[in-house]
Amino acid sequence: MPLNRLVVGFAGLLPILVASAGAQRPASVLPAVPAVHGNLTIQVAYPAAGSAIDAGDSTFLFGTVGDSAAKFTIAGQSVAVAPNGAWLAWIAIPRDSSFVLALVAKRGADSSTASLPLSRAGWVRESGAWVDPKSLAPNGEVWAPQGEPLALSVLAAPGSLVHLLLPNGAVLRFAADSTAAPVSEGLRNFDRDERNLVRTIHGDRFVATLGTALNPNGGLEPSSEGDRLSRPPMLVIALGRDTTRIPWPLTVSRSADAPVAVLLDDDPRRLGGTDRITIGRAYPTGTYTWFLPQGTRTRADMRIGDQVRLRLSRDAIAWVSSADVHRAPATDDPRPAIMGSPTLTAESGITRLRVPLTRPVPMSVDESERGLIITLYDAVSNANWTRYGADQRFVRLITWKQEAQDRITISVAFDRPLWGWRVRVEGTDLVYEFRAPPMIDPAHPLAGRRIVIDPGHPPGGACGPTGLCEPEANLAVGRAVRDRLIDRGATVIMTRDGPDEVELWPRVALADSVDAELLVSIHNNALPDGVNPFTNNGTSTFFNHPQSLPLARAVQDRLVANLGVRDLGVARGDLALVRPTWYPAILTEGLFMMLPDQESALRTPEGLQRYASGIVEGITTFLQRSARAEILPP
């Protein structure tokens, strides 16, 4: 019958499937780990004794035992020891707020023992009516429009009664939050086991809304004269006969006024050393969504702690750091800004789009493969002409649309893939610059290219079981990449060529200052606590903007071929070194520092050569493809 035939057929196919899967995943090509014989000494490289780990049922540890012949156990569980004495363990741990792991190494009659005390991050040791003071949200200064509800939340003992005593004697009751606790970012980003992404309800989160019901009789609000509260509200947690009281450091001001006109500037004293961009988020702790250039004019209508809410247009808001927001010097004109006729000009390979405005309004740019869409908030169009310029062909078509009553979209289509773009405020206008692909000789694609190589870290960086850390490994790979690129005719600028710390922003500033044509940031990976390193390691390459994706794919393909470890694929990531828009920029995570064989490979010339060649071959392939990229028919 059909079912049996299917089963038989499937069983017959299985060896073939296995064989082909085996062909796609070759045995590791990394250099062999050298054998080490020496004193039996247990060293734990991670985690440090007494530290708090953020894990579920199991966690990883790594270090060395000093001898490849050692038999090694942690909490009674057997752990493999690499030829160089390094070990990586994935260990089941007790469901307790703190615990001690016993580590035992044996070699014949010789033995060594160690104990490792650990605790769990986010687990509160206390019993009874506990409350986590760090979880009070929001706290600090809040100002908000009259009638705007304010959500309050706190972590406290499950099953307790939670309420807030307001200075005027009113009581705000909290309810247990019935929504599931979010899965940690680390698990979301790294764990390929879907079962670990199931969320659970902890019952320790309590929520309440401070709304209009508490107005106008004071409550948490100051009096109508606008004075501050004389004392903070008091949070009370009751569980059985146990009661805990803590003050909630919060002041709330309500405003009936219209939004305040503000100017965005991350460097008001002109000290330099900033990126001249204000980051906007969809909610106060959200991801980066808007990149608003210095000089943008807009309005603010709410503040929670150090976050200010901008009203970009009637239906769009963004949260930004209060440090970047300044009261606009001139009195506010409540009408939208007026956009005049856009004009294109070209000069030394750069195409410039000037968007005339009566005020530099907030904007965003969304990219596609061969075009981009500019959104202007708080603006109305009075555009009539569009001048395409005499000498430019790169921009094929510009159209604009009054998308809503105070929002305009401008669509820009290019005749080749966009290499890069940037924007600045000039007077009250927005000026965009577009970069076409450079002239590339397909026979010598690296000749004349200006490439920035960024060896990741320090500060920071992951380390391996035997103590090799990213700053050293990444620099060794970076130097090997540089030498190969120079051999093939490229000009290479290194963001660092020594052990000294370089922060992220100066690395990007250097790439901008040398007018980079391409940037590769070199890293080696690590996992967050609680993710299985044996099933989740491999090679990955990150990019941010669509124009960088072809470079990311080309380099990822060559890295996977050269390193022979699992292919984790390319990924979009909002990382400082891949965020620049003026040139294709990628970040490679070639190997995982915590895996003994991968750490060991990074100590050898062959391992470094494999990593470096992968990057150079990938860049070469990308440039060859770019040289062949056709001009689209009109």
List residues near Zn ion by CB under 5 A: 456, 470, 523
Which tokens belong to 492?
């290479």
User: In whole angstroms, what is the distance from residue 218 CA to residue 195 CA?
Assistant: 49
Q: Does residue 408 contact residue 402 with C-beta atoms inside 8 Å?
A: yes
> What angle is formed at CA 563 by the lines to CA 560 and CA 566, rounded to 5 degrees?
55
Which tokens belong to 305?
């702690």
Residue with smallest beta-carbon separation from Zn ion: 523
Q: How far is the CB of 523 from Zn ion (least distance, A)?
A: 4
Give the Cβ contact number of residue 525 at 10 Å. Answer: 23
Nearest one of 315, 322, 326 to 261, comparing CA atoms: 326
Q: Which is nearer to Zn ion, 263 or 526 (CB)?
A: 526
Q: Which is nearer to Zn ion, 333 or 574 (CB)?
A: 574
Q: How far is the CB of 542 from Zn ion (least distance, A)?
A: 11
User: In whole angstroms, what is the distance from residue 260 CA to residue 143 CA?
Assistant: 12
Q: How far is the CB of 587 from Zn ion (least distance, A)?
A: 8
Q: Which is nearer to Zn ion, 536 or 621 (CB)?
A: 536
Q: Which is nearer to Zn ion, 469 or 616 (CB)?
A: 469
Q: Which is nearer to Zn ion, 191 or 454 (CB)?
A: 454
For residue 388, what is the enclosing H or E element?
A: none
Q: How far is the CB of 35 from Zn ion (least distance, A)?
A: 29
User: In whole angstroms, what is the distance from residue 209 CA to residue 164 CA?
Assistant: 11
Q: How far is the CB of 502 from Zn ion (least distance, A)?
A: 13
Q: How far is the CB of 469 from Zn ion (least distance, A)?
A: 10
Write the DSSP assignment of 126-159 as a string of letters. --SS-B-GGG-BS-EEEEEETT--EEEEEEB-TT
Encode 318-340: b = buried (16+ Cβ within 10 Å), e = exposed: bbbbeebbeebeeeeeeebbebb
Q: Which is nearer to Zn ion, 62 or 72 (CB)?
A: 62
Q: Which is nearer to Zn ion, 456 or 465 (CB)?
A: 456
**275: helix, strand or coil:** coil
Give all strands (DSSP E) within 415-502, no chain letters: 420-426, 429-435, 450-455, 491-494
Q: Which is nearer to Zn ion, 316 or 578 (CB)?
A: 578
Q: How far is the CB of 526 from Zn ion (least distance, A)?
A: 7
Q: Which is nearer to Zn ion, 477 or 560 (CB)?
A: 477
What Rg value do the Cα atoms of the chain yield, rounded?
29
Return the bridge partners of 325, or none: 264
Tally helices (H) and strands (E) across the chain. 7, 40
Q: How far is the CB of 475 from Zn ion (least distance, A)?
A: 12
Q: How far is the CB of 274 from Zn ion (least distance, A)?
A: 23
User: In whole angstroms, what is the distance from residue 102 CA to residue 85 CA?
Assistant: 18
Q: Which is nearer to Zn ion, 85 or 456 (CB)?
A: 456
Q: Which is nearer to Zn ion, 247 or 460 (CB)?
A: 460
Q: How far is the CB of 175 from Zn ion (least distance, A)?
A: 42
Q: How far is the CB of 549 from Zn ion (least distance, A)?
A: 21
User: In whole angstroms, what is the distance from residue 399 CA to residue 411 CA?
Assistant: 5
Longest CA–CA separation in the chain, Å? 90
The sheet with strand 585-592 has its strands ordered as 491-494, 450-455, 518-525, 585-592, 539-543, 567-572
User: In whole angstroms, what is the distance from residue 542 CA to residue 521 CA?
Assistant: 9
Q: Which is nearer to Zn ion, 167 or 573 (CB)?
A: 573
For residue 464, what is the enclosing H or E element?
A: none
Peptide bond into 417 cis (omega under 30): no
Q: How far is the CB of 397 from Zn ion (least distance, A)?
A: 41
User: In whole angstroms, what is the distance from residue 32 CA to residue 364 CA?
Assistant: 50
